Amino acid sequence: QLQLVESGGGLVQPGESLKLSCVASGWTLDDYAIGWFRQVPGKEREGVSCIGIMSNTFVADSVKGRFTISRDNAKNTVYLQMNSLKPEDTAIYYCAAGRPPPTAMCGPQYDYWGQGTQVTVSS
């Protein structure tokens, strides 16, 4: 079964950058859409950025212009480059793989989830 492992989280100051990685095992990523989601306790999970099989992308308004998703199918890895980080970006970040509808590619219909990596942005 496909498994996903996130890495790259940590504690940074506002304005700094982080690059998250999501490595898949069991299956190659080129047959799946990949999404980055984040969740804060007491709030709903938010689709941050997702990339489809055809490399079409979705970016949430809250991170547009600051975050960039990319994939390296040869390495079974998806990245989330996070620039100009803000305190409100603090959350647990999860990567996920699945076959969501093209019109809702960053919605809840993902089948495989990583365990998450903590990102904390604080001065």
For the cut 90, the answer to whether the pLDDT of residue 26 exceeds it is: no
User: Each residue of 41-95: pLDDT tens digit?
Assistant: 999 999 999 999 888 999 999 999 999 999 998 898 999 999 999 999 999 999 9
Calculate the average pLDDT of the chain.
94
Residue listed under structure tokens 């099989």: 53
Residue listed under structure tokens 């019109």: 103
Burial class (CB within 10 angstroms; exposed 0-12, middle 13-18, buried 19+) of 68:
middle
Phi, psi dihedrals of residue 88, rounded to the nearest 5°: -70, -5
